[in-house]
Amino acid sequence: MQLRDFDSDSFLRDHWQKAPALIRNPWTAWENPLAPEELAGLACEEEIEARLVVHADGDWSVEHGPLPEARFDTLGEAPWTLLVQAVDHHVPDVAALIAPFRFVPNWRIDDVMVSYASDGGGVGPHFDQYDVFLIQGLGQRRWQIGQPCDDTSALRPHDELRLLADFETTDEWVLEPGDMLYIPPGIAHDGLAVGDDCMTYSIGFRAPSRSELIAHWVEDRLTDMSDDERYADPDLAAQDNPGEISAAAIDRLHAMVAETLADRDAFARWFGEYSSAPKYSEVSWQPDKPVGAETVRAKIAEGIALLRNPASRFSFVRNDADSLLLFVDGESFECADERISFAEGLSAHDQVILDAKAGKSDDLVALVAELVSRGSVAFDPDAR
């Protein structure tokens, strides 16, 4: 599906991380990509993250999947919402919803959560710490937009839902199928289904916190460090007061830490690997046996498309004009010459077709063989 009359540059300038945006059916031809019964089926599967939120007697209860099929026959009259994470990893038509939003870098995109709600169903007033596009797939949902929030905003007592204690409505819209609502981080919102058969597709974006980056970056650095790297002060002079930690000592100690963490190239490699690590590794395309170079060459010669595993993540960092680092599923791959254009194409598109001369590059063939053997990509099994 494609967006029409949507100016991504204007959106980024006026709304991205600034203000909510209501976009009435911007699709060339909207079609709901997933039936409610299919979503319920996914919620019953062991490896899929799902939640059932029921609002009864003024309170919300949460059940975690996998849900027994019989559960949907016993829900009763209380409003309820089913939420299933990473549906794009399992349903190609849902994964296709991400393509129009590629004006946001790959590493920022998280997954597509799909919700189904009965009349009045919702998850209560809340705020998220990431950007989200909410696409109405089926039925109607009334969205109320509220005040800016942060970690100091008062919450209702609940073990699993971050429900706001106070909600001040500033805007209100009813979304029809195909309508889209963008909500920046920290903006309160509350969505209630209007009638039954209400389906919403939530395209979420990742935004690592400072504490998360520091904690994981330091953890990575520690694995490469030796206890032999110790403080030294060969020019030590006697002090008037031995109880003082001198400015010179503080400078040396601080430099020991800062110099290690200030290595930009090492940070770039680490972050590429860290941010491309799969969130749900259960969706495996790994073949029973490693794929060899001759198999890859034969597929390339036949013009068979190479498809990306929807559960895999792809991005790259450019070293210089002649090389880059490709990141796939938490691993990094040095790329030069023919590998560069391949890495760029693979990072930008859900599928690539290599031209015949690519099969003559041993380096490129070796990279493709490794990615196929890892299950990050696969040659189109439906190709003839």
| Whether the Cβ atoms of residue 6 and residue 135 lie closer than 8 Å to each other | no
Write down the pLDDT at residue 382. Answer: 84
Residue 148 has pLDDT above 80, yes or no: yes
Q: Which residues of 224-240 are buried (b: 16+ CB within 10 A; e: fewer)?
A: eeeeeeeeeeeeeeeee
On the 0-12 / 13-18 / 19+ scale of CB atoms within 10 A, 197 is middle
Predicted confidence band of residue 92 (pLDDT cuts 50, 70, 90) = very high
- Return the closest-CA partner of residue 345 out of 106, 111, 109: 106
Write down the pLDDT at residue 229. Answer: 87
Write down the pLDDT at residue 26. Answer: 93
Write down the pLDDT at residue 58. Answer: 83
Token match 């006697």: residue? 238
Residue 76 has pLDDT above 70, yes or no: yes
pLDDT digits (tens, 9 = 90+) for 324-362: 999 999 999 999 999 999 999 999 999 999 998 999 999
Enter the pTM of the model. 0.90
pLDDT digits (tens, 9 = 90+) for 202-217: 999 999 999 999 999 9
Predicted confidence band of residue 1 (pLDDT cuts 50, 70, 90) = confident
| Whether the Cβ atoms of residue 39 and residue 199 lie closer than 8 Å to each other | yes
Which CATH number applies to 8-205? 2.60.120.650
Alpha carbons 263 and 221: distance in angstroms, whole number? 10
Q: Which CATH class is domain 293-379?
A: alpha beta
What's the rounded mean pLDDT across residues 218-236? Answer: 90
The H helix count followed by the E strand count for the chain is 9, 15
Would strands 306-308 and 59-64 be described as parallel, antiparallel, or unpaired? unpaired
What's the rounded mean pLDDT across residues 105-109? Answer: 93
User: How is the chain split into domains, by residue range?
Assistant: 8-205, 293-379
Count the neighbouring beta carbons within 10 Å of the beta carbon of residue 350.
16
List residues bridging with 59 in a β-sheet.
Answer: 56
Alpha helices, H only, 59-144:
92-95
Give 115 or 57, the one with higher predicted confidence: 115
| Whether the Cβ atoms of residue 31 and residue 135 lie closer than 8 Å to each other | no
Question: How far are the Cα atoms of 15, 152, 162, 163 from residue 170, in angstroms, in the given order?
Answer: 16, 20, 20, 18
| Secondary structure class of 115 (helix, strand, coil) | strand
Whether the domain at 8-205 and the domain at 293-379 fall into the same CATH topology: no
Residue 321 has pLDDT above 90, yes or no: no
Alpha carbons 217 and 348: distance in angstroms, whole number? 27
Query: In the chain, what's the furthest Cα-to-Cα distance?
Result: 84
Report the mean per-residue pLDDT for the chain. Answer: 94
**Percent of the chain whose predicted confidence (pLDDT) is above 70:** 100
Write down the pLDDT at residue 384. Answer: 61
Alpha carbons 262 and 299: distance in angstroms, whole number? 44
Q: Which residues of 154-178 are buried (b: 16+ CB within 10 A; e: fewer)?
A: eeeeeeebbbbeebeeeeeeebebb
On the 0-12 / 13-18 / 19+ scale of CB atoms within 10 A, 241 is exposed
Write down the pLDDT at residue 97. Answer: 95
CA atoms lying within 13 Å on the CB side of residue 294: 0
| Secondary structure class of 342 (helix, strand, coil) | helix
**Percent of the chain whose predicted confidence (pLDDT) is above 90:** 87
pLDDT digits (tens, 9 = 90+) for 155-195: 999 888 899 999 999 999 999 999 999 999 999 999 999 99
Write down the pLDDT at residue 284. Answer: 82
Alpha carbons 314 and 371: distance in angstroms, whole number? 11
